[in-house]
Structure 1
Amino acid sequence: MAQAVLEEHEVAERLKVSPRTLQNWRWLGTGPPYFKLSPGRGGRVRYRLADVEAWERARTAEQAGGAAA
Protein backbone atom coordinates (compact mmCIF):
# COMPACT_ATOMS: atom_id res chain seq x y z
CA MET A 1 0.00 0.00 0.00
CA ALA A 2 1.51 3.31 -1.06
CA GLN A 3 1.89 6.09 1.48
CA ALA A 4 0.68 9.58 0.68
CA VAL A 5 3.63 11.94 0.24
CA LEU A 6 3.38 15.74 0.37
CA GLU A 7 5.59 18.43 -1.07
CA GLU A 8 6.86 21.31 1.04
CA HIS A 9 4.30 23.80 -0.26
CA GLU A 10 1.45 21.36 0.49
CA VAL A 11 2.57 20.95 4.10
CA ALA A 12 3.00 24.71 4.43
CA GLU A 13 -0.57 25.25 3.22
CA ARG A 14 -1.89 22.55 5.53
CA LEU A 15 -0.16 24.06 8.57
CA LYS A 16 -0.87 27.64 7.46
CA VAL A 17 2.79 28.65 7.57
CA SER A 18 5.21 29.76 4.88
CA PRO A 19 7.59 27.31 3.20
CA ARG A 20 10.39 29.37 4.77
CA THR A 21 8.99 28.56 8.22
CA LEU A 22 9.16 24.85 7.37
CA GLN A 23 12.76 25.34 6.27
CA ASN A 24 13.57 27.01 9.58
CA TRP A 25 11.85 24.23 11.50
CA ARG A 26 13.91 21.64 9.61
CA TRP A 27 17.09 23.51 10.48
CA LEU A 28 16.04 23.70 14.15
CA GLY A 29 14.81 20.09 14.17
CA THR A 30 11.36 21.11 15.46
CA GLY A 31 9.06 20.52 12.49
CA PRO A 32 7.36 17.43 11.16
CA PRO A 33 9.61 14.54 10.06
CA TYR A 34 10.78 14.79 6.46
CA PHE A 35 12.96 12.98 3.99
CA LYS A 36 14.95 13.93 0.90
CA LEU A 37 14.53 12.20 -2.43
CA SER A 38 18.20 12.83 -3.25
CA PRO A 39 20.82 13.20 -0.54
CA GLY A 40 22.78 16.42 -0.30
CA ARG A 41 21.94 20.08 -0.51
CA GLY A 42 19.91 19.78 -3.71
CA GLY A 43 17.63 17.01 -2.45
CA ARG A 44 13.92 17.54 -2.76
CA VAL A 45 12.20 17.56 0.60
CA ARG A 46 9.06 15.48 1.04
CA TYR A 47 6.80 14.69 3.97
CA ARG A 48 4.78 11.54 4.60
CA LEU A 49 1.16 12.48 5.35
CA ALA A 50 1.08 10.03 8.27
CA ASP A 51 4.13 11.74 9.81
CA VAL A 52 2.59 15.20 9.43
CA GLU A 53 -0.66 14.01 11.00
CA ALA A 54 1.21 12.43 13.93
CA TRP A 55 3.22 15.65 14.41
CA GLU A 56 -0.03 17.66 14.42
CA ARG A 57 -1.59 15.33 17.02
CA ALA A 58 1.49 15.54 19.25
CA ARG A 59 1.49 19.34 19.12
CA THR A 60 -2.26 19.44 19.86
CA ALA A 61 -1.73 17.20 22.88
CA GLU A 62 1.18 19.37 24.09
CA GLN A 63 -0.88 22.55 23.76
CA ALA A 64 -3.89 21.01 25.45
CA GLY A 65 -1.71 19.77 28.31
CA GLY A 66 -0.15 23.19 28.72
CA ALA A 67 -3.52 24.93 28.77
CA ALA A 68 -4.87 22.61 31.46
CA ALA A 69 -1.95 23.18 33.82
Structure 2
Amino acid sequence: MTAHITGEPAIPDPEERAARNAALFAHNIETGFWDDQGRVAAWPDDIDEWEPEATRPSPRQRGEPPF
Protein backbone atom coordinates (compact mmCIF):
# COMPACT_ATOMS: atom_id res chain seq x y z
CA MET A 1 0.00 0.00 0.00
CA THR A 2 1.33 3.44 -0.86
CA ALA A 3 1.21 6.39 1.51
CA HIS A 4 0.04 9.92 0.86
CA ILE A 5 2.28 12.86 1.67
CA THR A 6 0.63 12.97 5.11
CA GLY A 7 1.81 9.42 5.82
CA GLU A 8 -1.72 7.98 5.85
CA PRO A 9 -2.33 4.77 3.87
CA ALA A 10 -3.83 5.34 0.42
CA ILE A 11 -6.66 2.87 1.13
CA PRO A 12 -8.11 2.67 4.64
CA ASP A 13 -8.52 -0.73 6.32
CA PRO A 14 -12.01 -2.33 6.28
CA GLU A 15 -13.05 -0.97 9.69
CA GLU A 16 -11.98 2.56 8.78
CA ARG A 17 -13.78 2.28 5.41
CA ALA A 18 -16.99 1.26 7.19
CA ALA A 19 -16.73 4.24 9.56
CA ARG A 20 -15.96 6.65 6.73
CA ASN A 21 -18.77 5.28 4.57
CA ALA A 22 -21.27 5.70 7.43
CA ALA A 23 -20.15 9.32 7.92
CA LEU A 24 -20.35 10.04 4.19
CA PHE A 25 -23.85 8.58 3.87
CA ALA A 26 -25.03 10.44 7.00
CA HIS A 27 -24.00 13.74 5.39
CA ASN A 28 -25.01 12.75 1.83
CA ILE A 29 -21.45 13.14 0.50
CA GLU A 30 -20.33 11.29 -2.63
CA THR A 31 -17.80 8.49 -2.11
CA GLY A 32 -16.62 8.35 -5.71
CA PHE A 33 -18.35 4.99 -6.20
CA TRP A 34 -21.84 4.39 -7.58
CA ASP A 35 -24.08 1.34 -7.78
CA ASP A 36 -25.73 0.03 -10.96
CA GLN A 37 -28.67 2.41 -10.48
CA GLY A 38 -26.40 5.46 -10.25
CA ARG A 39 -26.76 5.96 -6.49
CA VAL A 40 -23.77 6.74 -4.29
CA ALA A 41 -22.26 3.48 -3.04
CA ALA A 42 -19.84 2.56 -0.28
CA TRP A 43 -16.19 1.78 -0.89
CA PRO A 44 -15.94 -1.78 -2.28
CA ASP A 45 -14.76 -4.35 0.27
CA ASP A 46 -12.09 -5.60 -2.13
CA ILE A 47 -10.65 -2.19 -3.05
CA ASP A 48 -7.32 -3.04 -1.44
CA GLU A 49 -7.00 -5.89 -3.95
CA TRP A 50 -7.60 -3.71 -7.02
CA GLU A 51 -4.80 -3.14 -9.50
CA PRO A 52 -4.59 -0.52 -12.23
CA GLU A 53 -5.89 -1.69 -15.56
CA ALA A 54 -3.06 -1.45 -18.02
CA THR A 55 -4.26 -2.18 -21.50
CA ARG A 56 -2.61 -1.32 -24.75
CA PRO A 57 -4.59 0.70 -27.23
CA SER A 58 -5.88 -1.34 -30.13
CA PRO A 59 -3.94 -0.75 -33.33
CA ARG A 60 -5.63 1.42 -35.92
CA GLN A 61 -6.53 0.09 -39.29
CA ARG A 62 -5.19 1.79 -42.40
CA GLY A 63 -7.15 4.95 -43.16
CA GLU A 64 -8.77 5.04 -39.72
CA PRO A 65 -8.60 8.44 -37.97
CA PRO A 66 -6.38 8.56 -34.86
CA PHE A 67 -9.21 9.66 -32.55
TM-score of Structure 1 vs Structure 2, range by shorter chain: under 0.3
**TM-score scaled by structure 2?**
0.27
TM-score w.r.t. the length of structure 1 is 0.27
Which one has a larger percent helix, Structure 1 or Structure 2? 1
